[in-house]
A and B are shown apart, each in its own frame.
Chain A
Amino acid sequence: MQPRTYEVMFIVRPDLQEEEIDKLISNLESQAANAGATVKNVERMGKRRLAYIVRKFVDGFYILLTVGADGKAIHEIERRLRVSEPVIKFISVRIDEEQKRLEKIKQIRSTRVKRSAAESAVTPEGAPAPAATA
């Protein structure tokens, strides 16, 4: 089966120190590796205000992982997140199909641009009138 790409975003409670967050992330990475997932990217989005109160916290640290994994590995990661005490909320979203779709759109758009560019390149040679309008 082709490996899927997921985005796992989670919120860590705000009263944690930087080192503790680092530790948590590295812990999670090794656990993910054990589950058969590869962490491609880790992005810290910093401290943000939550839109609503979660476990009596008004704000939290957002962390975004980009993970290449199959469903089982994601399930394991989610389980780990659920049991880890400092994590107050998480969401995992599959992004590979969306990316595929976007690439397709991009491709279509680029071919269209090429065609219109080619047309505009051809028309001035053929007739001087379109050049005046352009």
Chain B
Amino acid sequence: MSDTPTPTTAAGGDRQDRGPRRDSRGGPGGAGAREGGRKFFRRKKVCKFCVEKIDAINYKDVRLLSGFVAERGKIVPRRLTGVCTPHQRRLSAAIKQARNIALLPFAARF
């Protein structure tokens, strides 16, 4: 894979957007040692739209949507972002509309 180094550098901003969620995703052995036998510590993921009471997921709101799009333009799955099912449905519809009007890429170039 020769193209792996370039996306990581180019998508530095993208990464920063998703910073807090990246943390909440947790990882193996985060705070495991303190909790006795537990090897894994995962913070409970919450739906951003439920918590912040964002009702409208609009295709024009590129700032909001770009947080749920991976660096190559893919929609980030629910299991990584913690978005609830009804909101993920609306979110993916909005992302697809935004792609249609060239607000978001179908596939980001590198």
Contact = CB atoms under 8 A, between A and B. Distances in A.
Contact of B102 (A52, A64, A106, A109): A52
> By DSSP majority rule, is chain A's interface helix, strand, loop, or mixed?
strand
Interface residues of B, number: 15
Interface string B95-106: 001011111111
Nearest to B101: A91
Contacts, number: 35
Interface residues of A, number: 18
A67 to B, nearest CB: 16
Contacts of A102: 55-56
A11 B56 contact: no
Contact of A105 (B55, B99, B106): B55
B54 to A, nearest CB: 11
A64 B41 CA distance: 47
Contact of B59 (A50, A51, A93): A93
Interface string B47-61: 000000101100110
A91 to B, nearest CB: 5
A64 to B, nearest CB: 8
A8 to B, nearest CB: 11
